[in-house]
Amino acid sequence: MGTTQLESVPEPKYWHLKTVLSDALDSEFEVGEILPNERELAARFGVARATLRQALEQLELEGRLQRRRGVGTTVAPPRMGVNVGPEDHAWPGGGADAWQPVDSEMAAPPASVGRLLGTDPEEQVHTVRRTRGTHGQQVAAELLYVPAASVPGLTAIDQLGGAARARAVLRELQRLELEGQDRSVELGSARADDAKQLDRLPGSPVLVVTARYFAEGRTVAVGVATYRADTCRLTFGETGSVQIGHPDEQRRAS
């Protein structure tokens, strides 16, 4: 990292410093590398530690840095590209699906999901839990709700547990002919269980992607995926689809 003259810059010092630091992260540091401590960085750039902290906090908000207790400040991995457009005509768990099944249980879905599925209040459905990560970090958690009527051939499910049970539900669901799907994205706050899985504080900003899967003329499954907002970026392509990705990934792909 080089030094820079900040006094004559009209914008706030911390903002200009953030830009300089961001360029240095791209050119001089690897993913997961630990940055020098605040005292060293402040001395190198000739700024007060308060100014440095503001710049680091902004870079953390933008998903460029991660602060881990007992480790320090490290370079964050690139934001994971996730296509949430409806043109992905595939069932969960099929093809190149990057989600990892965790477990499955019978439980009543939230009222909003029950309305999408058309199930009776308090009716229990297969609830499949899956996670998704990059560079060893969990960045998304999903609950996939599948009514028993959508997987009538599922047998001996009670004899299975954990990921094996989840995979059994997904395999049976894939026996149906997928007629289409739609997805919506909204900003939300991490619930306690999601926050724990994603290593965030409860109430942290997240992106919630709700997917409906159609077969036999009805909604046969609903997935609710929660993404860490600090690791995701929404872009809209020419096809009208929504993608979550890091700008560096998009430059490399073009």
- Tens-digit pLDDT profile for residues 122-176: 999 999 999 988 777 788 999 999 999 999 988 888 888 899 999 999 999 999 9
Tokens 């099929």: give the residue. 94
Tokens of 232: 């995701």
Rounded Cα–Cα distance for residues 167 and 101 (Å): 7
Cα dihedral value 146, 149, 154, 158, nearest 10: 70
Global pTM?
Answer: 0.69
User: How does pLDDT run across 225-238, given as a tens digit for each residue?
Assistant: 998 887 776 555 44
What percentage of the chain carries pLDDT values higher than 90?
35
Number of H helices, E strands in the chain: 7, 11
Rounded Cα–Cα distance for residues 54 and 52 (Å): 5
Q: Which domains does the chain have, with CATH numbers?
A: 13-75 (1.10.10.10), 82-253 (3.40.1410.10)
Higher local confidence (pLDDT), 190 or 231: 190
Tokens 């051939």: give the residue. 153
